[in-house]
């Protein structure tokens, strides 16, 4: 990934970033060597199971992980070439909610129950643009209108508990977009929502992105969610990146057995007897006591002796397509990919991923959410 | 809302009946001839004895006496003191301003110091200062009120006076007045601190744990993500949420404070209702004891109602009375 590190004209750039937590049981390498770049108007999907480090990585961009017990273990995060890690808390505050904003998984618990929605949506404008209370509220009503909340002037005076789940997430999006941020981090934004609402929220985010050119980091455990939205996808496992490429590359020529596992555990639309779901066996490893060599080795059905040795790094297999699996270079190995399952079933699986994202996401969540 | 208040006031009735019945039973069970209490130690003629019995309905069965008492009560008559030959209501009316002003001071001390200590402990959690404050509140919680009062009297009234050659000291008795060498306000300090001590310690501990819990909530993360400073997050987003259980406690605790006022006022010879009740217990002056307890019950019930209503101000999720279901 050397050529990526040298470019500094990206909007956001993570460069071999590491973030560790010291616990009484030992050092937890929650994020271990993550690199990616993001440009204006782009969407990157970060995919992985619970505990894969995707959320910690996102919170690091905001500088919101508690330190201690957390500490940066190395690497850098740059916004327009400027290192976020070397900024003071005061400088970071001017970026949070202003240039980088974030929305979260559970919109109800993410809104303060004792303040009116309008006040919370407009609060960022008062902090970052010096808007008066009245001005902030007026803009908040506009924002609520923009994210499709009916009768926004009246609803701005409501409290969060008076909103439905989907409306709350719309309000969160309005709040995040208030200061027109360059980067929007969405941490599992649809996980807590009904299936029908999930698609609406994703659609809204795409619409906002087209209108404003916001770059989006979409964090999810659900391949279906990123299928429609992401330009590029980073798959993470046990704090480490395992596969990185364009959405097409990752979906149509997946290189890493973990990515294959994620795809195979998505319920397909035509589920029949000879196409059972194939869950990934076992559980994610403890981050304190990772297996030697490849972190996925314990659960990998294609394990070879050499997987247990040395430290595995991401290697470029195709132009812009990286994998941490040693065997990704062997064309015979890649025949195991779900792409090469029986012709019809394989196409169906990928078709399902690419088209009906949100619907399968709901079913898949039962399996992988923790 | 109005419906809710009316319903709550109706709930006062069974509580009130229960308390008065218990008191009345106690009076009947505890030995001692009421006539002797009223008449005093001197020998009295039989006719006078019978007169006292009849005037006080003492020849009637106890439930009839109770009905008489309730009827008097509803007419605003708390009875006549056995010892002082004055109406209980008059006595209380004279003492109430002292008790009320002392209780007010104590609550102010409790709220200001308790909240402040709790907030500082929470912000500086696990630090030395947090340890120190938590330790102090633990000691305060387990210290008997009257003993704390005496310690304070010894320290500020005797030792401090000795060390500074009389230049610095605090009054340890009474509520001030023409014969006191101190300005009246100083008389409040020690009794108010003593009266507030236990409640203050509990308030601080509840405030600390609530604030720590609220700081872990998702909406606090949202507030940080907006770019607010830690101070703004605590003041604007955390405190209002953390206050709700603290207010509940302060309200519920008010009754406890009124009962410790009986001890505090006695230790500091504070001329309030608490001390009056304390003295009356010793003299078996039942009308004052009963009147005092009845008064305390009424005050506690009213304060609790006010606290319940004030929740709605802090937590918009709480609305009383009928409202369309969400």
Over residues A235-283, the pLDDT tens digits come to 998 888 889 999 888 888 888 888 888 888 776 655 555 666 777 877 7
CA distance, residue A254 to nearest chain B CA (Å): 34
Which pLDDT value is given to residue A275? 61
Name which of A243, A242, A191 is nearest A220 in CA terms.
A191
**Considering only residues 94 to 133 of chain A, which have any Cβ-Cβ distance to chain B shorter than 8 Å?**
94-98, 101-102, 104, 106, 109-116, 123-124, 127-128
Residues 6 or more apart whose Cβ sits within 8 Å of residue A39: A10, A11, A215
Rounded-to-integer distance, Cα B303 and Cα A101, Å = 45
Cβ-defined contact of B227 to A62 (cutoff 8 Å): no
Cβ-defined contact of A113 to B326 (cutoff 8 Å): no
Which pLDDT value is given to residue A229? 86
Rounded-to-integer distance, Cα B194 and Cα B148, Å = 7
Rounded-to-integer distance, Cα A124 and Cα A96, Å = 9
Residue where the block lists tokens 């305390």:
B296
Name the burial class of residue A24, with classes exposed (0-12), middle (13-18) and buried (19+) by CB atoms within 10 angstroms of its CB. Answer: exposed
Give A124's contacts in chain B (Cβ within 8 Å). 226-227
Cβ-defined contact of A128 to B224 (cutoff 8 Å): no
Runs of H (alpha helix) within B124-181? 128-142, 145-152, 160-163
Rounded-to-integer distance, Cα A183 and Cα A103, Å = 11
Tens of pLDDT, residue by residue, chain B (326 residues): 778 788 888 888 898 889 888 888 888 787 777 777 777 767 778 888 888 888 777 788 888 888 888 888 888 888 888 777 788 888 988 888 888 889 889 999 999 999 999 999 998 888 899 999 999 998 988 888 889 999 998 998 888 888 887 777 788 777 776 777 788 888 888 999 999 998 999 999 999 999 999 998 999 999 999 989 888 999 889 998 898 888 888 888 887 888 888 899 999 988 889 999 999 888 888 888 888 888 888 888 888 888 888 777 777 777 665 444 43
Rounded-to-integer distance, Cα A335 and Cα A337, Å = 5
Tens of pLDDT, residue by residue, chain A (370 residues): 444 444 468 899 888 898 988 888 888 888 888 888 899 889 999 998 887 888 888 889 988 888 778 888 888 899 888 888 888 888 889 999 899 999 988 888 999 998 999 999 999 999 898 888 999 999 999 999 888 888 999 999 999 999 988 889 889 988 988 888 999 999 888 887 788 888 888 888 888 888 888 999 999 888 888 888 889 999 998 888 889 999 888 888 888 888 888 888 776 655 555 666 777 877 777 777 777 778 887 788 777 777 787 667 888 888 888 888 877 777 777 777 776 554 444 444 454 454 444 444 334 433 333 3
**Considering only residues 16 to 75 of chain A, which have any Cβ-Cβ distance to chain B shorter than 8 Å?**
62, 64
* β-sheet bridge partners, residue A36: A14
Cβ-defined contact of B317 to A104 (cutoff 8 Å): no
Residues 6 or more apart whose Cβ sits within 8 Å of residue A62: A92, A96, A100, A102, A185, B224, B225
Nearest to B226 among A97, A115, A159 (CB): A97
pTM of the model: 0.77
Per residue in A50-73, pLDDT (tens digit) is 878 888 888 899 888 887 788 888
Here the tokens at position B169 are 């000291």
Which pLDDT value is given to residue A8? 61
**Considering only residues 244 to 303 of chain A, which have any Cβ-Cβ distance to chain B shorter than 8 Å?**
none
Which pLDDT value is given to residue B320? 61
What length does chain B have?
Answer: 326
Cβ-defined contact of A109 to B237 (cutoff 8 Å): no
Q: How is B262-310 classified by DSSP, letter by letter?
A: HHHHHHTT--SHHHHHHHHHHTT-HHHHHHHHHHHHHHHHHHHHHHHHH
Cβ-defined contact of A161 to B317 (cutoff 8 Å): yes
Give A102's contacts in chain B (Cβ within 8 Å). 225
Name the burial class of residue B181, with classes exposed (0-12), middle (13-18) and buried (19+) by CB atoms within 10 angstroms of its CB. Answer: exposed
CB-CB neighbours of A38 under 10 Å = 22
Angle at B321 between CA B317 and CA B323, to 5 degrees: 65
Which pLDDT value is given to residue B113? 93
User: In whole angstroms, how far apart are CA A16 and each of A13, A77, A78, A195, A241?
Assistant: 10, 9, 11, 36, 10
Q: Which SS3 state, helix, strand or coil, does residue A348 take? A: helix
Residue where the block lists tokens 């809104």:
A111
Backbone φ and ψ of A131, nearest 5°: -70, 150
Cβ-defined contact of A94 to B227 (cutoff 8 Å): yes
CB B249 within 8 A of CB B206: yes
* β-sheet bridge partners, residue A103: A186
Cβ-defined contact of A161 to B315 (cutoff 8 Å): no
Rounded-to-integer distance, Cα B192 and Cα B51, Å = 45
Backbone φ and ψ of B48, nearest 5°: -60, -45
Which pLDDT value is given to residue B121? 92
Rounded-to-integer distance, Cα A16 and Cα A240, Å = 10
Name which of B113, B147, B144, B107 is nearest B257 in CA terms.
B107
Residue B221 contacts A, CB cutoff 8 Å = yes
Which pLDDT value is given to residue A363? 40
H/E run at residue A258: helix A257-264
């Amino acid at each position: 990934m050397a050529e990526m590190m040298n470019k500094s004209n990206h909007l956001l750039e993570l460069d071999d970033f590491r973030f560790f937590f010291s616990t009484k049981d030992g050092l937890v390498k929650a994020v271990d060597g993550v690199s990616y770049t993001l440009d204006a108007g782009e969407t990157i999907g970060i995919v992985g199971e619970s505990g894969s480090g995707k959320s910690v990585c996102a919170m690091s961009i905001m500088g919101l992980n508690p330190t201690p017990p957390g500490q940066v273990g190395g690497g850098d995060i740059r916004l327009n070439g400027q290192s976020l890690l070397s900024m003071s808390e005061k400088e970071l505050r001017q970026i949070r909610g202003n240039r980088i904003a974030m929305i979260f998984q559970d919109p109800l618990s993410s809104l303060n129950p004792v303040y009116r929605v309008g006040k919370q949506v407009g609060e960022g404008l008062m902090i970052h643009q010096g808007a008066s209370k009245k001005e902030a509220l007026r803009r908040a009503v506009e924002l609520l209108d923009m994210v499709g909340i009916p009768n926004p002037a009246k609803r701005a005076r409501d409290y969060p508990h008076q909103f439905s789940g989907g409306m709350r997430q719309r309000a969160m999006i309005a709040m995040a977009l208030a200061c027109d941020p360059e980067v929007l981090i969405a941490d599992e934004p649809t996980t807590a929502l009904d299936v029908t609402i999930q698609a609406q929220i994703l659609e809204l985010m795409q619409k906002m992105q087209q209108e404003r050119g916001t770059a989006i980091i979409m964090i999810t455990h659900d391949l279906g969610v990123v299928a429609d939205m992401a330009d590029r996808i980073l798959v993470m496992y046990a704090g480490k990146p395992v596969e990185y490429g364009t959405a097409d590359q990752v979906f149509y020529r997946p290189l890493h057995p973990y990515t294959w596992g994620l795809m195979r555990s998505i319920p397909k639309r035509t589920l029949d007897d000879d196409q059972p779901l194939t869950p990934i066996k076992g559980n994610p490893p403890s981050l304190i006591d990772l297996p030697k060599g490849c972190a996925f080795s314990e659960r990998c059905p294609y394990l070879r002796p050499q997987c247990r040795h040395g430290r595995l790094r991401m290697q470029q297999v195709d132009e812009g397509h990286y994998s941490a699996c040693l065997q990704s270079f062997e064309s015979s190995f890649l025949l195991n990919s779900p792409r090469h399952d029986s012709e019809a079933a394989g196409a169906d699986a990928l078709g399902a991923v690419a088209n009906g994202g949100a619907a399968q996401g709901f079913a898949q969540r039962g399996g992988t959410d923790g | 809302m109005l419906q809710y208040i009316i319903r709550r006031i109706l709930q006062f009735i069974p509580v009130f009946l229960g308390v008065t019945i218990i008191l009345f039973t106690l009076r009947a069970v505890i030995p001692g001839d009421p006539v002797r209490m009223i008449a005093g130690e001197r020998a009295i003629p039989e006719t006078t004895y019978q007169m006292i019995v009849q005037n006080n309905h003492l020849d009637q069965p106890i439930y009839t006496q109770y009905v008489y008492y309730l009827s008097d009560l509803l007419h605003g008559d708390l009875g006549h003191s056995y010892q002082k030959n004055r109406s209980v209501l008059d006595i209380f009316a004279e003492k109430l301003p002292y008790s009320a002003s002392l209780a007010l001071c104590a609550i102010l001390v409790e709220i200001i110091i308790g909240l402040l200590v709790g907030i500082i402990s929470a912000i500086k959690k696990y630090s030395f200062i947090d340890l120190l404050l938590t330790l102090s509140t633990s000691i305060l919680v387990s210290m008997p009120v009257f003993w704390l009062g005496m310690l304070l009297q010894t320290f500020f009234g005797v030792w401090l006076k000795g060390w500074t050659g009389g230049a610095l000291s605090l009054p340890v008795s009474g509520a001030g007045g023409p014969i006191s060498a101190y300005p009246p306000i100083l008389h409040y300090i020690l009794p108010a601190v003593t009266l507030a001590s236990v409640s203050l310690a509990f308030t601080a501990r509840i405030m600390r744990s609530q604030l720590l819990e609220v700081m872990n909530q998702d909406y606090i993360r949202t507030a940080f993500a907006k770019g607010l400073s830690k101070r703004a997050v605590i003041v604007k987003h955390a405190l209002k949420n953390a206050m709700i259980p603290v207010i509940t406690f302060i309200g519920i605790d008010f009754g406890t404070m009124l009962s410790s006022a009986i001890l505090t006022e006695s230790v500091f010879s504070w001329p309030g209702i608490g001390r009056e009740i304390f003295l009356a217990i010793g003299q078996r002056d039942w009308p004052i004891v009963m009147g005092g307890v009845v008064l305390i019950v009424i005050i506690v019930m009213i304060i609790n109602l006010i606290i319940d209503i004030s929740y709605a101000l802090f937590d918009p999720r709480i609305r009383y009375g009928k409202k369309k279901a969400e």
